[in-house]
Amino acid sequence: MKPIAIQLYTLRKDVYPGGDDLPGVLRTVAEIGYKGVELFGLQKHQARDAAKALNDLGLQVTSSHVPFPAPENYREIAEMELTLGNKRAVAGFGPDHVKTIDGCKQAAAMAVQAVELMKSYGMTFGIHNHWWDFEPVDGIYPYDVLMAEAPEMFSELDIYWVASAGVDPVKLLSKYKSRIPLLHVKDGMLEQRHPHVAVGSGKLDIPAIIGATDPNVVDWLIVELDTYDGDMLDAVRQSYKYLTSTGLASGKK
């Protein structure tokens, strides 16, 4: 079983009261039993303070969603992430980046540069996909172009956005699992604009998808919900209970 983490975007301020109280949010997810967190910014908090809170709670940083690393900002990004104990930086592309094959190749060139910049700090760089990365351009998925053109980049695969685009996550994993150390475990009804649901209560075959990962490569199963029709904290608890009680992931409890 792989350890379970949560992307803290799930518990941001506008969906969870107190979401700008990072120590409080960290304490809550640790009490539920999550072993790690994926960060998406520290809001008003300092990296050293956040690192202490994480350490005190026994939480690991799986990775962080960061501004796209470029020559003008990568040092600041890397120094903050290393202070937090993180060695994986993740970013993504907007739909305008992947509307054409040339656009996809230009985006991939940005990723190649980001890989090299972060490598100078002993860090790795990967992309997080959205549904538009699987909308065919000239019969080709932008995701395939990005993976081919940036061979040292890893993929943090968001299984829900893959499925919502009509692509089978299991088949995709069979092709790319050697490059997928992080899995965004997200569930829903696969209907446009429908809120996400607690993992295990939607239409995705979560056991089959997790079973298709390479156990020698995947390090973390990261729960994420963008939206939820109810108390988001309830969904976070339900997702943890489902994944750990079924033996799909390991938590602290």
Q: How many domains is the chain partitioned into structurally?
A: 1
pLDDT digits (tens, 9 = 90+) for 24-76: 999 999 999 999 999 998 888 999 999 999 999 999 999 999 999 999 999 99
CATH number of the CATH domain containing 140: 3.20.20.150
Q: How confident is the model at residue 253 (pLDDT cuts 50, 70, 90)?
A: confident
Which pLDDT score, from 0 to 100, does residue 154 have? 98
pLDDT digits (tens, 9 = 90+) for 166-220: 999 999 999 999 999 999 999 999 988 899 999 999 999 999 999 999 999 999 9
Helix axes 47-57, 74-83, angle to 10 degrees: 30
Domain range for 148 is: 2-250
pLDDT > 70: percent of the chain: 100
